[in-house]
Amino acid sequence: MPRARGFHALCFSFLCFIRVVLAIAPRDLSNFQGLYSCPVGASIARVSSVSQVQKVVKNAKKVKAIGVGHSWWRENFCASSSSLSSNEGEETTIPLGGARGMRYVGEINEREKTVKVGCGITIRDLLDSLEKKGYVLPTFPWYIDQTLCGAIATGSHGSSLKFGSLSSEKMLLEMEVVLANGELKRLTRDKDPELFSAFSVSVGRLGVIVSVTVRVEENSRTERHVKVMSAEELIEELDRAGKEFAENNFTVMESLMNRLDTTQSLWFLTRGSSKNAAWRATHVTRPKVAPVPGSPFYEAERKYWEKKRDAFVAANETPESAAQRSLGRFQERRWVRELDRNTDGSEISTPNVQTYSNIRFDRQPRRIERRGEIPSLGLAATSEMVAYLLERDWLPGPDFSKRDALVSQRFEMSYNAPDANMYDQYEVAVPLEKAAECAREVYKESGKIFESTGDTVARSGFRVPILLRFVSSEPENLLSLSYDGPKVYFNFEDYLKYRSPSASEPNAAFCLVSKVFHSSKCSHGRNHWGKTKDYKTLQSVAQPLHEQFKSNWCSFGCVAKQLDPDRKFESLFQKGWTWDDSALECGCKSSSSSSSKFTYDHVKCGEWCGGGSFAE
């Protein structure tokens, strides 16, 4: 019997590995960590073609498309009904990640520098495919094991003041979408400006995106420069950037663009006022022709960059971090060597399968509330182990491809995260001109935690550093977080929640800093669509959605009313997205090129057209 259990565990581990490698969506209706399950009785429609997506959408009462389940937004993960139970067959989720027939990468248009991509492919797989042909996405996120289309639908981003997010007009050029009636519609920015502005960051509310055409560029040789600095220096750099932006009539001038484009920083709050509290990575394109090995120039450059790398490593080595660095080396070896996630067999679901028109519908049999533990992350010095694990990915160097120079999460870290290191990820977008004031307030509040708790701050707050990135203004997208100006995105993670006896027990220090990010000091930082929602904080200090997006909120309502009058694509959270029928009847107007009413006339009918609350 023990041998049988061991064999089954080994088989399950192998299947888990295959799932990640092939980017296949979860077998059950829960997110990539086994959390946020959909109501019992909901269905999974596993499709293998666009025509099957059309058939499912046309026949469904409530339907939601997801990628590979990489989301922390519980209430947007499932089609709406109730949070506890489902009427048999009423809610259907379509996982596109890994869908056969939808993982394709088309031929690259070398003249236009574009490529058409199916929505079943992950960003990692797309980057790998492009790299073989000498191309790369001009910008891409830190986490690349999410589907490209899921990232686009939520306005996900790397760090770029030139290209913006994956949803920007410089990156996203065409889409094919399935509407509520099952119709397949091709959208372009030129011919369908109102629809495109809504669909580009639509959070699944308007339909199912099944393919996109995106910008690519040559995978150039790139230098990565990394500066180690104090928190005060980081804040001063943000201050200079914000002032330069404001003094130039809130315009990103060429000098600021050149200085900050692709720049990203890590801020270790647990290092307090230390000189190594922040890392800042910048990138420089190099000539295509590399220096000849053995030449005087080659040798001088090699020594120069060796010195830079040694200085970077030395800046992060302290007597206090020695033990954690050893633990980090052990962790890396373990990740590479072991595939077994130690998942309890009770967590394996075996859904019933129904066959309908060659489309598999897997019935969700259970709810998942909590899974896994976080080994080794209870110590106060754990943030130093995290620093070591990240160090390898941030090393300066002269001869990267752009694909490798722009930092993204390693596969082994991504693979182990769901079970070994459960966490909630948050992200807020703060106006560029307010970023320094925001960071200064965060630094002040975190300093108070240090004063009261000393080294135990890591146990009470932050395990991993805050990731800072720059994203350009995107007025072309109605629900882009940067529709009204460039933003600095602050990404931060709670690794303590799932260690508590109750998963709902608040992480007090973490919540304190989260509250700052959503306060007026940070211009009420806008919460990233795909990340965790701290509802208590959002309800107390954040602006409602209709105040954040103003007339854009109403125009999005016009599109939703026209395309999805029965609210077929509504999620649990989006039940709080309410538009006043009389206001939309008054304000939704036609553009000169279309008879459809996709734009809201706020001059005629007022700014208010309905609310968008953060109620759970």
Predicted confidence band of residue 596 (pLDDT cuts 50, 70, 90) = low
- Give every CB contact of residue 69 below 8 A, 6+ residues apart in sequence: 25, 26, 30, 31, 32, 77, 95, 97
Predicted confidence band of residue 454 (pLDDT cuts 50, 70, 90) = low
Instruction: State the amino acid at position 440 in one-letter form.
Output: R
Q: Round to whole Å and give the CA distance between 523 and 430.
A: 7
Q: What pLDDT, on the 0 to 100 scale, is given for residue 613?
A: 66
| DSSP-derived pairing of the beta strands 466-471 and 487-494 | antiparallel
Q: Strand runs (DSSP E) across 53-195, as ranges? A: 62-66, 91-95, 114-118, 135-136, 172-178, 184-188
Please write the tens of the pLDDT for every residue from 218-231. 999 999 999 999 99
Instruction: Report the percentage of the chain scoring pLDDT > 90.
Output: 50
Q: Round to whole Å and give the CA distance between 182 and 133.
A: 35
Predicted confidence band of residue 373 (pLDDT cuts 50, 70, 90) = very low
Q: Round to whole Å and give the CA distance between 139 and 161.
A: 10
Structure tokens that stand for 268 in this block? 């270790």
Predicted confidence band of residue 381 (pLDDT cuts 50, 70, 90) = low
Q: Round to whole Å and give the CA distance between 581 and 572.
A: 20
**Phi, psi (deg, nearest 5) at residue 392:** -60, -35
Contact call for residues 113 and 216 (beta carbons, < 8 A): yes
Predicted confidence band of residue 385 (pLDDT cuts 50, 70, 90) = confident
Q: What pLDDT, on the 0 to 100 scale, is given for residue 79?
A: 77
**What 3-state class would DSSP assign to 501?**
coil
132 beta partners: none
pLDDT of residue 58 exceeding 60: yes
Contact call for residues 482 and 473 (beta carbons, < 8 A): yes
Q: Round to whole Å and give the CA distance between 388 and 459.
A: 18
Out of 156-165, 415-424, 564-573, least confident range: 415-424
Q: Strand runs (DSSP E) across 297-423, as ranges? A: 353-356, 359-363, 397-401
Q: What pLDDT, on the 0 to 100 scale, is given for residue 342?
A: 40
Q: Round to whole Å and give the CA distance between 180 and 61.
A: 10
Please give the helix or strand (H or E) that residue 307 lies within, else none: helix 296-315
Tally of CB atoms within 10 A around 398: 18
CA of 20: how far to CAs of 26, 69, 76, 95, 434, in Å? 10, 12, 22, 14, 39
Please write the tens of the pLDDT for every residue from 103-117. 999 999 999 999 999
Domain ranges, ordered by start, for the chain: 2-94+343-363, 547-605
CA of 57: how far to CAs of 47, 51, 170, 524, 608, in Å? 11, 10, 30, 36, 31
Burial readout 299-320 (b: 16 or more C-beta within 10 A, e: otherwise): eeeeeebeebeeebeebbeeee
Please write the tens of the pLDDT for every residue from 238-266. 999 999 999 999 999 999 998 999 999 99
Predicted confidence band of residue 574 (pLDDT cuts 50, 70, 90) = low
Q: What pLDDT, on the 0 to 100 scale, is given for residue 338?
A: 54
Tally of CB atoms within 10 A around 293: 8
* CA atoms within a 13 Å half-sphere pointing along the CA-CB vector of 260: 30
Per-chain mean pLDDT for the chain: 81
Q: Round to whole Å and give the CA distance between 351 and 363.
A: 5
Please give the helix or strand (H or E) that residue 540 lies within, else none: helix 535-541
Tally of CB atoms within 10 A around 328: 22
Q: Angle formed by the axes of helices 411-420 and 2-21, to 10°?
A: 130
Q: What's the burial of 454, exposed, middle or buried (CB within 10 Å: 0-12/13-18/19+)?
A: exposed
Tally of CB atoms within 10 A around 10: 12
Question: Per 3-state DSSP, what percentage of the chain is helix, strand, and coil (rounded to 5)?
Answer: 40, 20, 40
Please write the tens of the pLDDT for every residue from 479-521. 999 999 999 999 998 877 766 554 555 677 788 888 899 999 9
**Phi, psi (deg, nearest 5) at residue 85:** -145, 165
CA of 96: how far to CAs of 176, 292, 362, 594, in Å? 14, 46, 14, 31
Note the pTM of the prediction, 2 decimals. 0.88
